[in-house]
């Protein structure tokens, strides 16, 4: 598989695109005003303990308190910064989260060192853990632990045993170590060298902890571009193309110190045409974020996102197979699986994902689709779990969510529909207006009113001999002057009293 990284830097943001066989599979966006916080370490103070939620709230100096679950205070827990193979560590530690956790000995006002593992989402504060970890290029250092682990993405049992032997040999007292995927086939000297780098970083963090007042940040994770190069740029990446000379020099300087053999794979984009246009990435972004996504021979997905759940509907569309219906349905579903997994990674969808596949009557076919989903999801670095397809053709999938999905990063809620995609119909607007007028007339007894409304509503309410506005005036025995106002939204209207010569709209709302 051909894998490439393209990095575009503009005045407002940096975008990093990961391509597999020329197809966009992941897009990372970094902006100065919305810096990434995952992996940052804070010296905080327990604000309050809530046994009912099995959690505590920690003041880390943010406007909203951080949230820490009792499980993340357990000595057996392992929580790492983004990009540190969280799913691998979960498998290595073999930790099973029980339904109930014993309440730790915490109290308000207690100081605690925590690390952010999940970004603040909406009105919720960030999720943190007290199990600190520092990712290097080849290893992850876990202070205060004693275990060793190897990435589950390394398939060879022989290689896993070799790495574990090395880790046991070089592990410092009082620290845990995990070999990352890129550590495969690396020598003991290379692993030891990476360990020294991470240990120096931990020494710096420890020194800051002693000097920093509560609450305060004691460690800032590397910028997104640097962490992507650290976590993704390995022998399997054929090239990294950058359009910023500053970034190009920074990346080369870092790679020269950790993987000199990969230097020739870093290229500077010198053409005038934008780098994402040359690689056809910009068009992929526009197409990939659409509500309807086409795949195969006329089939398509419909992807709907809410705050808690993502729903994906598989439709055969114009696809007409040459085989029996069951076989055709299976073929479309298998093609859909590949596109769904790409969309999940590309959009960074998280939480609960519900997929409605085309109906399959045979259990063996549902099993085929489930197996294919698990196979494709293995490329995903996030932690995930997939349930078998139900008899109704529904698959449930959960995926680790650490930050808002790409759709919410690149877009903002519509000022007209507030993100719902729907606006009130003209009939509904007129009904609301008529109710307002009745309240106004009954409470004030006034006979004159000026109503300003969106031009489309104004046209709708006045058309015909028996227009709505005539019937409203006759029904309330008053005169109404209607004025179109294109500054108003479709569902808005403003009402002005002739007697008081003032806007009285808000006085008579329900």
User: Would you say residue 418 lies in a domain?
Assistant: no
One domain, residues 169 and 69: yes
C-alpha span between 263 and 254 (Å, rounded): 10
Res. 157: pLDDT tops 60: yes
CATH at 87: 2.40.50.140
One domain, residues 76 and 204: yes
One domain, residues 175 and 206: yes
One domain, residues 214 and 236: no
pLDDT tens figures, 239-250: 999 998 988 998
One domain, residues 192 and 69: yes
Res. 89: pLDDT tops 50: no
User: Would you say residue 416 lies in a domain?
Assistant: no
- Among 185, 220, 255, where does a domain finish? 220
More confident residue, 464 or 264: 264
Q: How many residues does the chain have?
A: 510
C-alpha span between 210 and 141 (Å, rounded): 20
Beta bridge partners of 40: none
Binning pLDDT at 50, 70 and 90, where does residue 482 land? very high
Number of structural domains (the chain) is 4
C-alpha span between 234 and 3 (Å, rounded): 10
Instruction: For residue 34, give the DSSP letter.
Output: B
- Among 383, 410, 437, where does a domain finish? 410
What strands, in cross-sheet order, belong to the sheet with 237-242?
Answer: 23-30, 14-20, 3-9, 237-242, 266-268
What is the average pLDDT across 169-180?
Answer: 93
One domain, residues 169 and 151: yes
In the three-class reduction of DSSP (H, G, I as helix; E, B as strand; rest coil), residue 467 is classed as coil
- Given a contact cutoff of 8 angstroms between Cβ atoms, the answer to whether 407 and 289 are in contact is yes
pLDDT tens figures, 289-333: 788 888 877 889 999 988 779 999 999 876 555 558 888 889 999
User: Would you say residue 421 lies in a domain?
Assistant: no
Q: How many CB atoms lie within 10 A of CB 172?
A: 12
Binning pLDDT at 50, 70 and 90, where does residue 509 land? confident
What sign does the CA torsion over 251, 254, 256, 262 have?
negative
One domain, residues 92 and 190: yes
Q: What are the backbone dihedrals phi and psi of residue 35, each rounded to the nearest 5 degrees, phi first?
A: -65, 150
Of 350, 346, 362, 359, nearest in space to 395 by CA: 359
One domain, residues 358 and 310: yes
- Pick from 70-74, 145-149, 375-379: least confident: 70-74
**Host domain of residue 69:** 41-220
User: Would you say residue 321 lies in a domain?
Assistant: yes
Beta bridge partners of 240: 5, 266
Q: Which residue has the tokens 């250092």?
A: 141
One domain, residues 237 and 367: no
Alpha helices in 259-362 (DSSP H): 275-278, 281-288, 325-347
CATH at 261: 3.30.420.60
User: Would you say residue 415 lies in a domain?
Assistant: no
What strands, in cross-sheet order, belong to the sheet with 394-399?
Answer: 292-295, 299-305, 309-315, 351-356, 394-399, 384-386
Binning pLDDT at 50, 70 and 90, where does residue 83 land? very low
User: How is residue 328 written in tokens?
Assistant: 């055709």
One domain, residues 246 and 109: no
User: Would you say residue 80 lies in a domain?
Assistant: yes
- Among 220, 237, 268, where does a domain finish? 220
One domain, residues 269 and 213: no
User: Would you say residue 116 lies in a domain?
Assistant: yes
What is the average pLDDT across 198-219?
Answer: 93
Res. 31: pLDDT tops 90: no
Rounded to two decimals, the pTM is 0.72
One domain, residues 363 and 392: yes
Res. 75: pLDDT tops 70: no
Task: Name 341's Cβ contacts closer than 8 Å, sequence gap at least 6.
Answer: 373, 376, 377, 379, 380
pLDDT score at 159: 93
From residue 9, alpha-carbon distances to 6, 225, 420 in Å are 10, 10, 32
Reported for 6-12, long-range contacts at CB under 8 A and 24+ positions apart, including other chains, are 6/240, 6/241, 6/275, 6/276, 6/279, 6/281, 7/225, 7/240, 7/241, 7/242, 7/243, 7/244, 7/247, 7/275, 8/243, 8/274, 8/275, 8/276, 9/242, 9/243, 9/244, 9/246, 9/247
User: Would you say residue 419 lies in a domain?
Assistant: no
Res. 438: pLDDT tops 70: yes
pLDDT tens figures, 40-56: 999 999 999 988 888 99
């Amino acid at each position: 598989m051909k894998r490439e990284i393209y990095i575009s830097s503009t005045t407002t943001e940096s975008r990093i695109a990961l391509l597999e066989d020329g197809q966009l599979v992941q897009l990372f966006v970094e902006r100065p005003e919305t810096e990434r916080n995952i992996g940052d370490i804070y010296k905080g103070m327990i604000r309050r303990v809530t046994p009912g939620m099995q959690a505590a709230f920690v003041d880390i100096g943010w406007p909203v308190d951080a949230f820490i679950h009792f499980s993340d205070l357990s000595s057996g827990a392992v929580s790492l910064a983004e990009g540190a193979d969280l799913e691998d560590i979960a498998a290595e530690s073999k930790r099973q989260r029980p339904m109930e956790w014993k309440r730790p000995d915490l109290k308000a006002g207690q100081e605690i060192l925590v690390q952010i593992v999940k970004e603040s989402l909406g009105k919720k504060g960030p999720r943190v853990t007290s199990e600190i970890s520092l990712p290097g290029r080849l290893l992850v250092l876990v202070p205060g632990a004693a275990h060793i682990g190897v990435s589950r993405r390394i398939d060879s049992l022989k290689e896993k045993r070799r790495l574990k032997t090395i880790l046991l040999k070089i592990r410092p007292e009082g620290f845990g170590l995990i070999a990352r995927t890129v550590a495969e086939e690396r020598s003991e000297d290379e692993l030891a060298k990476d360990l020294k780098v991470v240990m120096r970083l931990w020494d710096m963090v420890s020194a800051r902890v002693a000097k920093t007042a509560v609450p305060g940040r004691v460690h800032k994770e590397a910028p997104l571009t640097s962490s992507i190069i650290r976590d993704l740029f390995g022998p399997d990446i054929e090239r990294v193309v950058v359009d910023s000379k500053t970034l190009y020099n920074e990346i080369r300087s870092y790679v020269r110190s950790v993987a000199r053999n990969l230097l020739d794979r870093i290229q500077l984009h010198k053409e005038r045409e934008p780098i994402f246009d040359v690689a056809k990435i910009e068009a992929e972004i526009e197409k990939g974020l659409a509500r309807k996504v086409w795949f195969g021979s006329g089939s398509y997905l419909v992807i709907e996102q809410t705050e808690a759940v993502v729903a994906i509907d598989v439709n055969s569309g114009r696809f007409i197979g040459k085989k029996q219906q069951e076989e055709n349905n299976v073929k479309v579903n298998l093609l859909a699986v590949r596109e769904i997994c790409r969309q999940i990674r590309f959009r960074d969808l998280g939480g609960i994902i519900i997929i409605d596949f085309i109906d399959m009557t045979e259990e063996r076919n549902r099993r085929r689709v489930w197996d294919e989903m698990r196979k494709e999801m293995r490329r995903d670095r996030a932690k995930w779990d997939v349930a078998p397809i139900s008899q109704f053709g529904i698959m449930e999938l959960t995926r680790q969510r650490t930050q808002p999905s790409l759709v919410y990063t690149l877009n903002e809620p519509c000022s007209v529909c507030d993100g719902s995609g729907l606006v009130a119909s003209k009939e509904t607007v007129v009904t609301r207006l008529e109710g307002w007028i009745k309240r106004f007339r009954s409470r004030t007894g006034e006979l004159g009113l000026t109503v300003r409304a969106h031009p489309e509503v104004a046209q709708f309410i006045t058309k015909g001999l028996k227009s709505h506005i005539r019937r409203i005036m006759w029904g309330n025995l008053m005169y109404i002057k209607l004025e179109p106002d294109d500054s108003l939204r479709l569902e808005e209207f403003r009402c002005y009293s002739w007697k008081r010569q003032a806007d009285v709209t808000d006085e008579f709302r329900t």
